[in-house]
Amino acid sequence: MPFNLGTSGIGSHPLNDSKRLIRDILESGITYPYIPQLNTDEMTVQFHYMFPGITILRGASVLDVNTPKFKEKLDAFKNDLKFKALLLHPHGMAIESDFVKELSVFSELLSESQTRPHGIKCQLVGPITEAASIKIHPGNTRLIDDPELLDLLVTLTAEIAHWLSGQLLQIANANKIQRSNVILFLDEPALSVSIEKEIPTKDALEKIAQVLQLIQCRKGIHICDNPVNVLNDILKCPIDLFSYDAIKYSNSLKNSDKDIIEDFMLRGGGFAFGLTPNTPESVFGVERIPQIMTGELTPSEFFPTPDQLGQVLQKNINPLAQKGIPIQELLAQSLITPSCGFRNFNIPTPEEGELIVKQLLQIQEAAAAKLRKTYELT
């Protein structure tokens, strides 16, 4: 089932009211509404709290090996994961409802809504970014530096991904959404920084593939940083979508390998083009923010137009067209999203920032509608 430049989001928002956020997402008209991350959500603990010793210490994610009975808990945890790997226990690691309240609220509001989206989307922090961000306490090493702990984290992420994708499929089935239009992204913002500096490329891709293998729906990878050093390798992974910041890194596809792009497309692959600006700085400009804050300037005067988002897309795909890549086919297999999450859009206030986020999503869908018409996507 083609995506036909469907529209979605990355995850985070500036408010903590899950019902408000999900209503905004559904009312924005985007065709692939998504489960948002609240401003207070800490994705490491939210998704991996059952890993013994993982906690927040002075605002940072740590693995505290001084946790009471840490060794006993870790051994029991290892055995549980081993039994799952041997199929002696069923795959999947359920997250407690307190940690995924947005998921249940999304299901409820989608069922009540008059909106009938094409698909739904969610995200899960990926294993490389996760491992690179967790420090082992006490000490100054990180989890990515410990091979045994890293393998355990990857296995846990795969089991969570299996469970979460199953939950998404249940929501889709209840709302008559086709299985082929359900997407789970691995959020790997630090991947391009971590590869080779902290973990060999081959090892990183093998661990990501281990997680992707257990995802039951369509799958993608999102990278916030410059993807140029990992793009060709990521496109060889078993994914349906590669998501990147198409504003800041609009030349990313220029140096891509044509054969790899063509093979990716033959497998049904496409891009989630991050065309929509996601921060106050990228929408208003740093120099205007003081006047936006005081009300001297009106935020909507600086919103991008649908045509401007279309121009950003053209800048990204023109190098592919010059390589002979069939653009209409590629766009039929692709999405449009913001360049990253909206967590920092708290200008002039978080409440007003959320109103702007909803308007930006509406502009994004308007841009996609024009592009669908231009490229005859139905």
The pLDDT tens digits for 323-345 are: 999 999 999 999 999 999 999 99
DSSP letter string, 212-281:
HHT--SEEEEEE-S--TTTHHHHTTSS-SEEEEETTTTTTTTTTS-HHHHHHHHHTT-EEEEEEE--SHH
Is residue 32 within 8 Å of residue 6, measured between CB atoms? yes
251 pLDDT above the threshold of 90: yes
Q: Report, as an integer, the average pLDDT of 239-255.
A: 95
231 pLDDT above the threshold of 80: yes
Average pLDDT, the chain: 93
The amino acid that residue 348 corresponds to is P
100 pLDDT above the threshold of 80: no
**Domain-embedded: residue 264:** yes
**Domain-embedded: residue 1:** no
> Which residues, including other chains, have CB under 8 Å from residue 252's CB and lie 6 or more apart?
226, 227, 228, 231, 244, 246, 316
**Domain-embedded: residue 219:** yes
Question: Given this model, what pLDDT does residue 128 score?
Answer: 94
**Structure confidence at residue 97 as a pLDDT band (50, 70, 90):** low
**Structure confidence at residue 99 as a pLDDT band (50, 70, 90):** low
Lowest mean pLDDT among 90-94, 131-135, 292-296: 90-94
Question: Given this model, what pLDDT does residue 28 score?
Answer: 97
Give the three-state DSSP class for 182.
Answer: strand
Question: Given this model, what pLDDT does residue 150 score?
Answer: 96
Is residue 10 within 8 Å of residue 314, measured between CB atoms? no
**Structure confidence at residue 171 as a pLDDT band (50, 70, 90):** very high
Cα torsion 139, 130, 70, 78 to 10°: value is -130
Instruction: Count structural domains, the chain.
Output: 1
From the list 68, 21, 12, 65, the residue with the least C-alpha distance to 43 is 12
CA distance 70 to 156: 17
Is residue 255 within 8 Å of residue 321, measured between CB atoms? no
CB-CB neighbours of 66 under 10 Å: 8
Is residue 25 within 8 Å of residue 36, measured between CB atoms? yes
- Structural domain range at position 271: 6-374
**Domain harbouring 114, CATH code:** 3.20.20.210
Q: pLDDT above 70 covers what percent of the chain? A: 98
Q: Report, as an integer, the average pLDDT of 313-322.
A: 97
Q: Report, as an integer, the average pLDDT of 294-308.
A: 96
Q: Report, as an integer, the average pLDDT of 223-233.
A: 91
Q: Is the peptide bond before 138 cis (omega within 30 degrees of 0)?
A: yes
Question: Given this model, what pLDDT does residue 98 score?
Answer: 64
126 pLDDT above the threshold of 90: yes
**Domain-embedded: residue 198:** yes
Question: Given this model, what pLDDT does residue 42 score?
Answer: 73
